[in-house]
Amino acid sequence: MPVNPKKGEREEEFISRCIAEEIGAGYENPMAAAICYSYWRKDKMSKMTDATSKVMAKVKYDAEFRGINLFADLEKGENDPCWENYVQVGTKDMDGREVPNCVPLSKQETKLEVEEGELNILGYHTKNFKLCPGATSLFGHLIEMPLEEDTIGMVRSAAQIADNVFHLEKLVIENGIATQHQYEEAVLLVDDFKDIMEEIDEEVGMVHDVTFMDGHIDVIKSYI
């Protein structure tokens, strides 16, 4: 179950309380810290009203947590703190606490081929896009466009968020059941995705249809 900040709770108070709960659930200290900072950052982003600030905060969030497997399910034996094709190299500091330092495997260690049905989106290799032709079409178009450096970062972030939604959907389908938390997480992720895509559209002067993402929320909801 996610740990949510209480009204008026300071960051250090929340992080300490949350880490104790996540360790009690079986996570190692660095991973527990990463999960708790993720909860705190998402809670703060959910309260932002300025669209530009919110998008930049999301891009920063994706950079901070890139490679860290925040969705690892201990009950299913998933104890690797890093994504596939990432490896943990010690820890890194995040606001004074240690979290896993997950870095991409070098090309000497893995060829990083794109799996059939997946995409290389400006350096990010998708893992679950085969579930969504709409996302494949959208990002296939975006990566062919001439993009500014900041826009490239936003496109990668949007792709990672979409991939996380599809990963949740895949888990739900495999398990045959969805939790309320998984549904709420999917809703928040899709909201984040739409916000970033709105910013991308402003940068490229186009309007892309992203309503296909709502269908993935509906699939997850149908399993509750």
Segment 59-76 mean pLDDT: 86
Kindly give, in sequence order, each residue whose CB lies less than 8 Å from that of residue 43, ignoring residues fewer than 6 positions away.
Answer: 4, 5
> How many C-beta neighbours within 10 Å does residue 36 have?
27
* pLDDT at res. 106: 59
Helix (H, G, I), strand (E, B) or coil at 104: strand
* pLDDT at res. 53: 84
Structural element, H or E, at residue 102: strand 97-104
* pLDDT at res. 158: 94
Segment 182-195 mean pLDDT: 93
* pLDDT at res. 111: 43
| Alpha carbons 61 and 209: distance in angstroms, whole number | 24
> Residue 23 — very low, low, confident or very high, per pLDDT cuts 50/70/90?
very high
* pLDDT at res. 113: 55
Q: Where are the alpha helices (DSSP H) in the chain?
A: 11-24, 29-46, 51-65, 133-142, 149-175, 180-204, 212-222
Segment 111-120 mean pLDDT: 70
Task: Say which range, 17-21, 144-148, 196-200, has the weakest mean pLDDT.
Answer: 144-148
Please give the backbone phi and psi of residue 97, each rounded to the nearest 5 degrees, phi first: -120, 155
Least Cα distance to 221 among 188, 183, 190 occurs for 183
Please give the backbone phi and psi of residue 94, each rounded to the nearest 5 degrees, phi first: -135, 105
* pLDDT at res. 149: 81
Across the strands, what pairs with 124?
121
Whether pLDDT at 163 is above 80: yes
* pLDDT at res. 195: 93
Please give the backbone phi and psi of residue 194, each rounded to the nearest 5 degrees, phi first: -65, -40
| Alpha carbons 187 and 222: distance in angstroms, whole number | 13
Segment 61-71 mean pLDDT: 88
* pLDDT at res. 110: 43
Segment 141-148 mean pLDDT: 90
Structure tokens at 27: 């996570």
* pLDDT at res. 89: 85
Whether pLDDT at 198 is above 90: yes
Amino acid (1-letter code) at residue 23? I
Q: What is the mean pLDDT of the chain?
A: 89
Segment 118-146 mean pLDDT: 92
Q: What is the pLDDT of residues 71-90, one digit of tens each?
A: 888 877 888 899 877 888 89
